[in-house]
Amino acid sequence: MTVFSTALAVALLMLTAGSVAAQDVKYNAMPGTDFSKFHTYKWVVVPNAKYPNQIVDAQIKDAINSQLSAKGLTSTDSDKADLYVAYQVSVAQQQQWNAYGMGGGLRWGGGMATATSSTIDVGTLVLDMYDPTTKQLVWTGSATKTLNPSSNQEKNQKNLNNAMAKLLKNYPPKQ
């Protein structure tokens, strides 16, 4: 396994390891889509997409499968599925600045200020659903979060499940 694959897997697991409330979740749906006609789905791979290692991939799919099942969808390997479902992940680095100041005033002289910067990793998981008949994207959602590691696998899985519940909260969309 390459260093990049390992780093991506750890980063993605960290995406879901922190507080769900801190996640930025967005979704969008194709107007006019009749979501009531979708009953089955099949996992597909997005060409050139970044994926974590097999263990994290299975954990992500299990969490998504659980949420989709709760919404009445059934996973299938058949090419005749009503929906094709795919996900991909990315990790980006962002600069974070913190400034602190204190001091002075009245006849006590000047104050003091300092600023620090740090680089933080921000992970994004994008979930897409396609209509296999029209080949159109009918629903997309993304969860973005500052990555924060945890060595407790049980906690990571629970947080992953909560994150996917939050991501799929608005599926199917109300029209």
28-64 per-position pLDDT tens digit: 999 999 999 999 999 999 888 888 889 889 999 999 9
Helix (H, G, I), strand (E, B) or coil at 34: coil
Task: Find the domain containing 74 and state its range.
Answer: 3-94+124-167
d(CA 151, CA 106): 50
In a domain, 135, yes or no: yes
d(CA 174, CA 35): 10
In a domain, 115, yes or no: no
Task: Please state the pTM of the whole predicted model.
Answer: 0.74
Q: In the predicted model, what is the mean pLDDT of residues 80-108?
A: 79
In a domain, 152, yes or no: yes
Quote the number of domains for the chain: 1
In a domain, 82, yes or no: yes
How far are the Cα atoms of 44, 74, 77, 102 from residue 81, in angstroms, in the given order? 11, 9, 8, 62
| CB-based contacts of 137, cutoff 8 Å, min separation 6 | 30, 128, 129, 130
**Residue 11 banded pLDDT, cuts 50, 70, 90:** very low
In a domain, 110, yes or no: no
CA angle 17, 20, 22 (to 5 degrees): 105
CATH of the domain at 147: 3.30.160.670
CB 166 within 8 A of CB 24: no
What digits encode the pLDDT tens for the residues 139-157?
Answer: 999 998 776 666 778 887 8
